[in-house]
A and B are shown apart, each in its own frame.
Chain A
């Protein structure tokens, strides 16, 4: 039943053929993947990770560099990306959780690792071309029944490709979060010490949550690199992490699909209303503050509780 909610998005391009509108949707889908996956560690496990932009950006670099250097397809290039993201998540996560870093300290240490990753990419000129960034000229191919190999190019291809990836992400997250694993995450979020006492291996579950979130963010980063066709060290910036956090908060951190709404609003809103740069920054700040103070459950969470009350 819930799956039917995706239907409007599937037929939407048939109604609106504007490249401008559809590219806002495509960007929203990709950023929504990052936001939904971030919410696994943040909203569902209760750990404020600042490593998300790093996972996103590192993946963007590895996937596109592998694809262009070894002349392999997007899918093959995704394999080393996944392997490396899992590895680095295990390393960073183990360090943080082994040393019992919580709340603010966890945020600071993950932020530090994220900044270190950014500085390495920024200054490793021979491989990453430093601040000048790299153009990504390859495009992914998918196999479609009937048409065979299809190159993902152009606005419709990317629309459906990124939408599929988002649906996949949501499916993975629902599967995990609605299982006993998700209940362990919730136990850690609500009271970590209690969870520990109850025999939940909090170290292992936090590490799992952190790794899962980063791995899904790696998909988002890889897609983003191939869609925009350009990668730069700013992908790993603190602002990128903050944008993702804002999407999650705005949409609602208590639901799996909530962050998608946040991604849409924050990606689309600036293009819907004509505002000067300064006015927009003020509006962004106000939206963030008011959401936290007035709608702490986010847009989707508030709508859901209103419906429950009605």
Chain B
């Protein structure tokens, strides 16, 4: 039983980083543009399908396929920002609804292109690492390392570069930041595009682990939002931590409790957090 627990805790951590990368996008977008981009899951789907196409159909090596996949997601993100999200800045409800409309459109386009038949990409790396009786798939470990690296790099970039500090400043006090010469428009667009690129990157890695369907985005955005709230909206490290907590809760919860309720465990956690510590586990007190 201990083996089971250890194995699933590790697995939950890895799965949780995938939630975390979406949560990071949610947190960044919310902090800078004041909306929650529910369509982030769809950008993840775009990244995943492009990766699948380049790797399986066009036959490119995986590390090369990631680049265009992230670029495609970011490009779609840029188009969505210029055509839609530019008009919903700081309007939470409109932003939410526009992103829901966008989900409908992107998902239908994916259905037209790739149909409901699931795509299962060829294995980039198969096999598992054995630790006693616990075995962890190698690819999952690679995915974990890459995602964690990207999240820490984002954190570093935000605290070290001018653009990053501008973003921080803007999130804390928009007027003051504007007075100090932060160009709002550009900053907001950059953040929206960056978070879609993150989602695309998450999607590219997702494709190495799971089979793809056009509807895959819906689940991940819900988990991403849950993770962002758990960690505390606005906290970058919190989104990683929130994702991991969610992943572990689900994995360990499924061992001891019926797995049909798996989605409920995270939700209960989120409600409890919002009631007793509304700023999340890692957020600054409001």
Contacts and interface: CB of A to CB of B under 8 A. Distances in A.
Decide if A and B touch, CB cutoff 8 A: yes
Interface of A: 48, 95, 99-101, 103-105, 107-109, 112-113, 115-116, 119, 122-123, 242, 245-246, 249, 277-282, 284-289, 292-293, 296
A281 B104 contact: yes
A101 B97 contact: no
A116 B104 contact: no
A292 B88 contact: yes
Interface in B256-279: 258, 260-261, 263-264, 267-268, 270-271, 274-275, 278
Contacts of B30: 104
Interface of B: 30, 36, 84, 87-88, 92-94, 96-98, 100-105, 107-109, 111-112, 225, 229, 258, 260-261, 263-264, 267-268, 270-271, 274-275, 278
Contact of B261 (A100, A108, A123, A284): A123
19 contacts: A48-B92, A101-B274, A103-B92, A104-B30, A105-B274, A113-B271, A115-B264, A116-B264, A116-B268, A119-B260, A249-B97, A277-B108, A278-B112, A281-B111, A282-B108, A282-B109, A285-B102, A288-B100, A289-B102
A273 B2 CA distance: 59
Q: Is the interface of B mostly helix, strand, loop or mixed?
A: helix
Contacts of A293: 84, 87-88, 98
Given A99-B275, A108-B229, A288 B104 contact: yes
Shortest 5 CB-CB contacts between residues of A and residues of B: A285-B104, A288-B101, A281-B108, A285-B105, A289-B101
B32 to A, nearest CB: 15
Given A107-B96, A281-B107, 18 more contacts: A101-B274, A108-B274, A109-B271, A112-B270, A115-B264, A116-B267, A122-B260, A242-B100, A249-B97, A279-B108, A281-B108, A282-B108, A286-B105, A289-B84, A289-B102, A292-B88, A293-B84, A296-B94
B264 A119 contact: yes
A285 B84 CA distance: 12
A103 B95 CA distance: 12
A259 to B, nearest CB: 14
B36 A119 contact: no
A152 to B, nearest CB: 35
A101 B273 CA distance: 12
B6 to A, nearest CB: 28
Given A278-B111, A293-B84, A123 B260 contact: yes
Contacts of A281: 104-105, 107-108, 111
A309 B214 CA distance: 45
A286 B263 CA distance: 30
Contacts, number: 99
A262 B27 CA distance: 33
A101 to B, nearest CB: 7
Contacts of B263: 115, 119
Nearest to B30: A104
Contacts of A123: 258, 260-261
Most buried by B among A100, A108, A279, A280: A108
B274 A109 contact: yes
A207 to B, nearest CB: 16
Given A112-B267, A119-B263, A123-B258, A292 B274 contact: no
Contacts of A116: 264, 267-268
Contacts of B94: 292, 296
A48 to B, nearest CB: 6
Contacts of B93: 48, 103
Nearest to A130: B260
A289 B84 CA distance: 8
A278 B109 CA distance: 7
B167 to A, nearest CB: 20
A112 B271 CA distance: 7
A14 to B, nearest CB: 38
B264 A286 contact: no
B270 A108 contact: yes
A263 B109 CA distance: 25
A99 B278 contact: yes
A116 B262 CA distance: 11
A103 B104 CA distance: 23
B267 A115 contact: yes
A279 B111 CA distance: 10
Contacts of B102: 285, 289
A268 to B, nearest CB: 18
B259 to A, nearest CB: 11
A291 to B, nearest CB: 9
Contact of A284 (B96, B104, B229, B270): B104
Question: Which of A113, A246, A278, A287 has most B Cβ within 10 Å?
Answer: A278
Contacts of B274: 99, 101, 105, 108-109
